[in-house]
Structure 1
Amino acid sequence: MKVFIPHKKDRNIYFDEIINRANCEFSFGYFKDYDASFSIVNIQFPEAIFDLAIPSKEQLIELENAIIQWRKNSKLVVTLNDDKSHYDEENKYGDLFKLINKYADGVIHLGQYSVDSYKKDFPSNCKHKVVFHPLYESLNTNTSKENIEEKIKLDFNEKYVVSVIGAIRSLEEVKLMLKMFKALPQKNKLLIVPNMFNFKEIPKFVPYRFRKIYNYWVEKRYCYPLKNEQYFFGYNFIEYDLMVDLVKKASLLMIPRKRNLNSGNLYLGITFDKAMIIPKIGNLTETANLLGLPVIDLEQHNFKKNIKQILKINEKIDFSSDKYQEGKKRFSPNEIANQYESFFKELIKKK
């Protein structure tokens, strides 16, 4: 079975876990590269179709004509990684998402919350299937000797290392992350954020000679009362070998998301059996509940008290127990790949 994904492969390797196991031939490419030999067209990230550029009306018309041609020989499947682009605060990709949804033959949801919330946005004859995000099993077999402490020139010895692995994408997430971290009671806590949102971006009206002062002021404004030695911010995608080392050495992973439908960070933490602070949002709540992991309601007022309660619950979780490890199997890449393949075949049989 040939599957066409009409955009570049995402840097997140989660879909590799499926590609390497499903009995399908996956091809990534420009949407015009399609041919009738493909049984399935699977769109993972709509905004990637035009390489993250906002499509013009003419481009949307061109894409719509292409989709109409696709559906003469293939089934169009949307994997609902999110209901809008992560970086699209102004919903500039809205028309692109609506166009794709309009013609979907099938939708893969990463949780029941997604089905309940977004089924209405698709045609009435569209098939819906819940297929969870897979674990990052390939990373768990990583034997690299890369050392994150050497890379960022910090010593984790006797530190309560707290990390945010995924990219921080907005000032809103910066504020939530720091709020979470400041609420932690550990005095030896150390925050490591490899891929930070540039919340210190300098406005054009700030004179060049004052830029260092501006940077210093903004950082202190948000990070106060933290000391410099209590946190490290990087501003680039972290290589997987270093990321694995950081996850293994971390005492706690935080997921400072407020609006996301899904988050790969959750499945990264599950893969490595890590304690986490998980927000009560989207599909994350369902996955956490299935494994007995605590979630935090971001709307509750006594934030510090709730963080302490979550830490206490995390301390009681036996990640090595048969029950927990058995629960993880429903997210195994083999299981997820089989479900993808089965859903594709079901759609192909459908007239």
Structure 2
Amino acid sequence: MNVLILGFRDANPFFDEIEKESSTHFTYGTIQDINTNYDAILIHWPEKIFNWKEPSIRDLDTFTTFLKTRKQENCPIVHCFHNERRHYGMTSNFETLYKLVWTYADVFIHFGSYSKMKYEKMYPEKVHEVIPHPLYLNSFSKISKTIGRKHLEISEKSKVIYIAGKLRKKAERDFILKAFDKLDVEDKLFLGHILLKNKFPIDLSARIGLRKLLSPIKKVYEYCANFDLRKKLASEDIKFLETPVNTKVISNCVAASDVVLIPRLDSLNSGSIYLGFTFNKMVVGPAIGNMKEILEKTGAYSFNPENINLLVNTLKEALNVNEPNYGVNLEAMYPKNVAKKWDELFVNLKQ
């Protein structure tokens, strides 16, 4: 089986875990790669098709032609349903891109029953299947808590809550920081990656004339707007790393933590949940989307993203757990078992 994955391989090792255990031959490529005979096309994040950049009208026309041609060739199109919307906001072109993928896809692969049930009603003519997200057994170094803390210069007595993943939105950042202020735990430490700053309200990147005129004002605005954030970062019980994020840094952070916190407020899925499971850390995540089902099935902790006091209480409970007992609940997420499901899918599509 030869499957074309649209887009280039990126830093997220999610599908690498499946490839290593799969009998299917996967190739990463673009919509120009039409000379090879593929048995199926696989689309992950729609925006990845254009290297995470907004497609032009011409790009969308080319993509439409690509999809129509694959349909004429009876080449199945499979969409792995990561997101309902782009993380950093939608434009009309991104809306069109998502709709094209959903319209032409023959199969939707979901990470949980929530999105499967929702989109079965919207697209009943499609095939909808649930295939679990894999654990990251091969992608990250499983080091001890002591070694992780030594690398990050964190005290052994600290109660470390690792904010997994990049804080993408101001609402996520503010929610997490408010919880931090309310969390009355001795030796607490919030650990995360580059903290989202308050930005100037006008995007000057493509406006050369305005950039020259407003740059001084922008600097003053951002200095003042981030005053409180700088004060928080100066605190000894909050540590946001400014270093580039890679698998080694993430391994250190997860290993060093007592609790892995998923900071999403309106997302469908989060790969960071499975990162926490991989290191056998107690995971705390929002009771929304497919995440709610996964957290409940595994015995992890969940919180209502509209109730900050509930998050604070949940974090306190999670910090008191010495070691989670996920056990057999994770077996379906082992890469070899997930890869088997993907292989069966593609074999069935060819029949």
The within-5 A match list for 1:53-64 is 53-64=53-64
Q: Report the Cα distance in structure 2 between the residues aligned to 1:305 and 1:46, rounded to whole angstroms.
A: 34
Instruction: Give yes or no for contact 2:198–2:222 (8 Å, CA) kept in 1.
Output: no
User: Tell me, which stretches of 5 or more residues in structure 2 are unaligned?
Assistant: 203-210
Q: 3-state SS of the aligned residue for 2:8?
A: coil
Task: Call closer, same or farther: CA 1:216–1:185 in 2, change over 3 Å.
Answer: farther
Task: Call closer, same or farther: CA 1:285–1:91 in 2, change over 3 Å.
Answer: farther
Q: 3-state SS of the aligned residue for 1:138?
A: coil
Task: Call closer, same or farther: CA 1:100–1:140 in 2, change over 3 Å.
Answer: closer
1:119 Cα deviation from its structure 2 partner: 2.6
Q: Report the Cα distance in structure 1 between the residues aligned to 2:310 and 2:65, rounded to whole angstroms.
A: 55
1:252 Cα deviation from its structure 2 partner: 1.6
Are 1:45 and 2:20 counterparts?
no
User: Bigger shift: 14-23 or 181-190?
Assistant: 181-190
Q: Report the Cα distance in structure 1 between the residues aligned to 2:154 and 2:311, rounded to whole angstroms.
A: 29
> Partner amino acid for 1:111?
G
1:283 Cα deviation from its structure 2 partner: 0.5
The within-5 A match list for 1:116-127 is 116-122=117-123, 124-127=124-127
* Corresponding residue for residue 246 of structure 1: 253
1:289 Cα deviation from its structure 2 partner: 1.1
1:192 Cα deviation from its structure 2 partner: 1.7
Q: Report the Cα distance in structure 1 between the residues aligned to 2:145 and 2:172, rounded to whole angstroms.
A: 31
* Corresponding residue for residue 345 of structure 1: 347
Are 1:260 and 2:267 counterparts?
yes
Q: Report the Cα distance in structure 2 between the residues aligned to 1:264 and 1:97, rounded to whole angstroms.
A: 20
The within-5 A match list for 1:1-351 is 1-71=1-71, 72-90=73-91, 92-122=93-123, 124-139=124-139, 142=142, 154-199=153-198, 208=216, 211=219, 217-222=224-229, 227-235=234-242, 237-300=244-307, 303-309=308-314, 311-312=316-317, 315-316=320-321, 319-320=324-325, 324-349=326-351
Task: Call closer, same or farther: CA 1:254–1:44 in 2, change over 3 Å.
Answer: same
1:310 Cα deviation from its structure 2 partner: 5.1
Instruction: Give yes or no for contact 1:158–1:188 (8 Å, CA) kept in 2.
Output: yes
- 1:94-152 CA distance string (max 9 Å, x none): 11010111111111001000112223443x43111001111111146556999766766
Instruction: Give yes or no for contact 2:7–2:48 (8 Å, CA) kept in 1.
Output: yes
Query: How many residues are paired up?
Result: 341
Instruction: Give yes or no for contact 2:259–2:318 (8 Å, CA) kept in 1.
Output: no
Instruction: Give yes or no for contact 1:254–1:278 (8 Å, CA) kept in 2.
Output: yes
Q: Report the Cα distance in structure 2 between the residues aligned to 1:248 and 1:143, rounded to whole angstroms.
A: 6
Instruction: Give yes or no for contact 1:178–1:223 (8 Å, CA) kept in 2.
Output: no
> Partner amino acid for 2:69?
Q
* Identity over aligned pairs, percent: 26
Task: Call closer, same or farther: CA 1:235–1:34 in 2, change over 3 Å.
Answer: farther
Could you tell me the TM-score, scaled by structure 1's length?
Answer: 0.86
Q: Report the Cα distance in structure 2 between the residues aligned to 1:52 and 1:20, rounded to whole angstroms.
A: 25
Q: Report the Cα distance in structure 1 between the residues aligned to 2:151 and 2:216, rounded to whole angstroms.
A: 30
Q: 3-state SS of the aligned residue for 2:63?
A: helix
1:206 Cα deviation from its structure 2 partner: 7.0
